[in-house]
Amino acid sequence: MELTRRSAIILGAGALFAAGLPKQGSAATSEELISAFTGGAEIGAGDIELTAPEIAENGNTVPIAVSSGSAAEILVLAMGNPTPNVATFKFGKLAGSRAASTRIRLAGTQDVVAIAKLDDGSFVQASSTVKVTIGGCGG
């Protein structure tokens, strides 16, 4: 394709537009992840709890927990990370509860979201804002 002035301007504008998108993670990607998980179904509020600190001691290792009464599967997303996907928990027949704890990496202050697929096929979500700070002398 010949690089005419017109196409150069369009290319340039496209690049600027992409660069100007909000840095809060690639919104399209988390949308894609969510719709892949829910099949496009509506997400309500309800039987899902997300526990995360208000302020993370360090973004490298942030303890979180998810808990539900009847979730078959729980998807966890970090909406502000370069790639929002964090983990998916799938509870088996011998799961003692629909709950799990882990430690995650957060690139900066952002919302952590947990979406649960309940036994009855419905979807619910909870979210928590975690502040990730820069500490000390940078050391």
How near is the Cβ of 9 to another protein at its closest, in Å?
A: 30
DSSP 3-state of 79:
coil
User: Which residue in the block uniquely carries the two structure tokens 């000390």?
Assistant: 136
How near is the Cβ of 78 to another protein at its closest, in Å?
A: 6
Instruction: Mark residues 67-96: x for contact with another protein by CB under 8 A, - for none.
Output: -----------x--xxx-xxxxxxxxxxxx
**Binding of another protein by 60 (CB under 8 A):** yes
Nearest of 134, 34, 58, 124 to residue 26 by alpha carbon: 34
- Using the 8-state DSSP alphabet, how is residue 136 labeled? T
DSSP 3-state of 52:
coil
Binding residues (CB under 8 A) for another protein: these are 53, 55, 57-58, 60-63, 65, 78, 81-83, 85-97, 99-106, 133-139
